[in-house]
Amino acid sequence: MLPGINGAPLHDVTLFSYLVNPEDFTVVERQVSITDTGLSMGLTYADFRPVPQYIKGYPMHKIIIDFNRDAFIKDFIQVMTK
């Protein structure tokens, strides 16, 4: 659990919803890096500047930046009450 968050995180459920209903999500592609040492170990970050600087040959990843919350909740309730 994370301090200040009411309820359970829905990261996995959100991913499955995206895979089934991609039209309900806004996605961007960016290179994502992960800090593996120091105080920020485990931190993931991507370059969201207007003109990102990319590393040649480094993979791009899809990042969900927005989604249709009403459609997500409706689908979630429908699936969980079957």
Q: 54, 31 in Cβ contact below 8 A?
A: yes
pTM: 0.77
Q: Identify the pLDDT of residue 18.
A: 96
Average pLDDT for 39-59? 95
Instruction: Tell which wins on pLDDT, 5 or 60.
Output: 60
Domain ranges of the chain: 26-80
- 77-to-48, 49, 58 alpha-carbon distances in Å: 33, 36, 38
Instruction: Tell which wins on pLDDT, 4 or 43.
Output: 43
Q: Is 6 helix (H, G, I), strand (E, B) or coil?
A: coil
Report the percentage of the chain scoring pLDDT > 70: 96
Mean pLDDT of the chain: 92
Q: What is the distance between the terminal CA atoms of the chain, rounded to a whole angstrom?
A: 27
